[in-house]
Amino acid sequence: MDAKVENSPVSGPGEHALQPGHDPYHHLHDEAYAAPFGQHRVGWRQMLSVAGRIVEPLDGAWNFVLDLHDEGLRQRWFEDAPEPIGGWTTPRDYDDGDWQSTIVPSCWNVVRPEWTYFEGGAWYTRHLDFAPGKAGERVFLRVGAANYEARVFLNGVFLGSHRGGSTPFFIELTEHLNTGENRLQINVDNRRRPERVPMNHTDWFNYGGIYREIGLVRVPALFIRDFGVALVPGSAGKRIAVDVTLSEPASGTARLSIDGLASDVAVPISGGIGRLEFEAAPDLWSPANPRLYSVGISFGEDRLGDKIGFREIRVEGQRILLNGEDIFLRGICVHEDDRDLGKVSTEADIRRRYADAKALNANFLRLSHYPHHELAAQIADEVGLLLWEEVPVYWAIDFANPDTFADADNQLREMIRRDRNRASIVIWGVGNENADTDARLAFMSGLAASCREMDSTRLVSAACLINREHFRIEDRLSEALDIIGLNEYFGWYEPSLDGLKRLFANSDLDKPLVITETGADAVAGREGRPGELFGESHQSDLYERQLDLVESAPYVRGFCPWILYDFRTERRQTAYQRGWNLKGLIAADKTTRKKAFTTLSERYSELAQQQKPAGP
Ligand code: GCU
């Protein structure tokens, strides 16, 4: 573009181009273009409980267009009224994408081959036909998850943004909705950046898109934003606490009912919040007895409902106690990854995952490395499995960056707000395999403190590394944790199991340890010679030898190997892996079991018999 053209009154997009002094090419020189769209950022405080609410689905076909250079933000496409390209009098770089569409929820990477490795911005657009409901209602857009940053526009107006790729967010539409026709646009950007959470280097595939359900939620002018119902820790299962947060600092009385346990409990509310404890002796939830109660809570016109299990999890010395009984966590790790659906989780996929875990005789899953779909905990409540949920504070996070901490802390609080009434979740994980630096210690201790501030009914852990200098299980972060998680790959990245023997011999812990990762790659169907890498016999043999050692260490109270299914990762490009991590006990078809599956299943069955507490 040469200088003289820039000063001529040539037309640019939209009618404003002809205004005196308007530079139609300003967007070519403005690298601060994204700043306005980082404002009005929503987070955990703007969430609202949807338990028992009607969510009007907006899933299905949306117009879609990739926008690698963020032209839509730079040129403010959203301000141009939609107009068929045949009627334009000035050219645009965007036509609402009505020549191509995609289905929401989805990951664009698995929709078209040419979109597989796309990392950048993209636009979802749809028309929304809106009919007002009750007088005074407030209308929110709920997005189940969009990776990584999302910006919402309604009828040409920017309404808000959200950071974080695995937790729900809410944008209020009320004041900007037309009766009848509306135009809803969502810009999603899945770029990996050093200051994001996770940062730009991970061992899982960077999917992009609106990959969980999206819909409208209508609530009364004054509504229940959040509530929790749980056993009071230390009450030996004899007291229940309920807390309620309203959308405004109003006062009054909320009413709580728990079928078969408590009817019409009055919860005084003052300044928008209320908390009450009362005597009750529920039938306790456990994997062997996944007892759920129908809970109702109301305030004014607003009423919510949920199915909630009551249980207590705590540590005592080196032991983990569920409802007062010693428990050993027979676990398996799992990613949210599917060969055909990418990061989209369906109910069928989650139920298959849990059926496979039960076939392993597992009682525990680590949902790695980010908050999974809300159905994961809801179904685990129902089928009786214990869960570890975590935020993607993974590897070399920008620990010294306060914005990065704010992002991680918000994702953590969103996860806890969303899933706080799920009995199956017993552990919040605040990170994975992070170097023990001062900045990391402050950052992750801060996250552990946030867990305890938000929720006193669960344990806090992290998947830590060993102290290489002393070759023992030692991490300054342990002070802030209830359970020490340990990722170790003796028998794979460190070929000899002698290292694990030495580590256990050198270590003495005053709290429970859970092996949060170990494993080996194996090509499904390739037996391999004994000891041959990427063979099923080597993977199976590793599990046998790992468990022999794990069972010898009294403070190891859980074993959670890596991983249930093979999964996509750009990092693995050997002849065997070709873009997949093959440490799964089941291949990427989620059907073909490897030899190690049977090995672990048999060992867990023996463990279940030996240490059979009141539970599977
Ligand atoms: C690490 C990491 C995992 C990774 C695994 C592996 O422990 O936490 O995300 O996939 O090792 O190397 O397979």
> How many whole angstroms from 44 Cα to the centroid of ligand 1?
29
Nearest CA to ligand 1 atom 12: 203
How far does Cα 596 stand from its chain's mean position?
28
> How many whole angstroms from 523 Cα to the centroid of ligand 1?
17
Distance CA 105, CA 188 (A): 13
Is the model more confident about 53 or about 92?
A: 53
CB 25 within 8 A of CB 2: no
Mutation to probe ligand 1, out of 562, 577, 581, 582 (largest number of atoms < 8 A from CB): 562
> How many whole angstroms from 122 Cα to the centroid of ligand 1?
29
Task: Please report the atom of ligand 1 found closest to the CA of residue 493.
Answer: 12
Q: Which of 81-95, 479-493, 516-530 has the lowest mean pLDDT?
A: 81-95
Task: Please report the atom of ligand 1 found closest to the CA of residue 521.
Answer: 13
pLDDT at 1 over 70: no
Return the closest-CA partner of residue 111 out of 121, 122, 119, 103: 103
DSSP collapsed to 3 states, 306-347 = EEECCCCEEEECCEEEECCEECCEEEEEECCCECCCECCCCH
Q: Is the CB of 205 under 6 A from ligand 1?
A: no
Query: Which pLDDT tens digit goes with each residue over 147-173?
Result: 999 999 999 999 999 999 999 999 999
> How many whole angstroms from 395 Cα to the centroid of ligand 1?
10
> How many whole angstroms from 447 Cα to the centroid of ligand 1?
22
Query: Which pLDDT tens digit goes with each residue over 471-521?
Result: 999 999 999 999 999 999 999 999 999 999 999 999 999 999 999 999 999
Query: Helix (H, G, I), strand (E, B), or coil: what is residue 79?
Result: helix
CB 141 within 8 A of CB 170: yes
**H-helix segments, 130-280:** none
CB 297 within 8 A of CB 242: yes
pLDDT band at 613 (very low <50, low <70, confident <90, very high): very low
Q: Is the peptide bond before 105 cis (omega within 30 degrees of 0)?
A: yes
Nearest CA to ligand 1 atom 10: 203
pLDDT of residue 14: 44
Q: How many CA atoms lie within 13 A of 352 on its CB side?
A: 15
Nearest CA to ligand 1 atom 9: 203
Q: Is the CB of 140 under 6 A from ligand 1?
A: no
What is the mean pLDDT of the segment spanning 141-146? 98
Q: Is the peptide bond before 148 cis (omega within 30 degrees of 0)?
A: yes
pLDDT of residue 95: 81
> How many whole angstroms from 491 Cα to the centroid of ligand 1?
14
pLDDT of residue 3: 34
Query: Which pLDDT tens digit goes with each residue over 98-112?
Result: 788 999 999 999 999
Task: Please report the atom of ligand 1 found closest to the CA of residue 369.
Answer: 9
How far does Cα 318 stand from its chain's mean position?
29
Task: Please report the atom of ligand 1 found closest to the CA of residue 487.
Answer: 7
pLDDT of residue 61: 97
Return the closest-CA partner of residue 67 out of 34, 94, 92: 94
What is the mean pLDDT of the segment spanning 229-246? 97
Return the closest-CA partner of residue 285 out of 329, 327, 237: 237
Q: Is the CB of 518 under 6 A from ligand 1?
A: no
> How many whole angstroms from 203 Cα to the centroid of ligand 1?
6
> How many whole angstroms from 486 Cα to the centroid of ligand 1?
12
The helix or strand, by DSSP H or E, that contains position 515, with its residue range, turns out to be: strand 513-517
Mutation to probe ligand 1, out of 390, 393, 433, 571 (largest number of atoms < 8 A from CB): 433
Nearest CA to ligand 1 atom 4: 203
Q: Is the CB of 566 under 6 A from ligand 1?
A: no
Mutation to probe ligand 1, out of 203, 394, 487, 492 (largest number of atoms < 8 A from CB): 203
Query: Which pLDDT tens digit goes with each residue over 331-364?
Result: 999 999 999 999 999 999 999 999 999 999 999 9
Q: Is the CB of 189 under 6 A from ligand 1?
A: no
> How many whole angstroms from 394 Cα to the centroid of ligand 1?
10
Q: Is the CB of 583 under 6 A from ligand 1?
A: yes
What DSSP string describes 152-182? EEETTEEEEEEE-SSS-EEEE-GGGPPSEEE
Q: pTM for this one?
A: 0.95
What backbone phi and psi angles, to 5 degrees, belong to 566?
-55, 150
Mutation to probe ligand 1, out of 581, 582, 585 (largest number of atoms < 8 A from CB): 581
Q: Which of 75-89, 117-131, 325-339, 497-511 has the lowest mean pLDDT?
A: 75-89
> How many whole angstroms from 574 Cα to the centroid of ligand 1?
16
Task: Please report the atom of ligand 1 found closest to the CA of residue 583.
Answer: 13
> How many whole angstroms from 529 Cα to the centroid of ligand 1?
24
Is the model more confident about 442 or about 89?
A: 442
In this structure, the chain runs to a length of: 616
Average pLDDT, the chain: 94
Please give the order of strands across the beta sheet that includes 252-258: 262-269, 252-258, 293-299, 302-308
Percent above pLDDT 90 for the chain? 90
Is the model more confident about 187 or about 612?
A: 187
Return the closest-CA partner of residue 225 out of 160, 278, 269: 269
Q: Is the CB of 388 under 6 A from ligand 1?
A: no
> How many whole angstroms from 156 Cα to the centroid of ligand 1?
43
Total Cβ atoms within 10 A of residue 599: 19
Q: Is the peptide bond before 198 cis (omega within 30 degrees of 0)?
A: yes
Q: Is the CB of 94 under 6 A from ligand 1?
A: no
Query: Helix (H, G, I), strand (E, B), or coil: what is residue 86?
Result: helix
Query: Residue 449 has which token pair?
Result: 């403190």
Query: Helix (H, G, I), strand (E, B), or coil: what is residue 447?
Result: helix
Q: Is the CB of 337 under 6 A from ligand 1?
A: no
Q: What is the CA radius of gyration of the chain?
A: 26
Q: Is the CB of 433 under 6 A from ligand 1?
A: yes
> How many whole angstroms from 24 Cα to the centroid of ligand 1?
49
Total Cβ atoms within 10 A of residue 20: 5
The helix or strand, by DSSP H or E, that contains position 418, with its residue range, turns out to be: helix 402-419
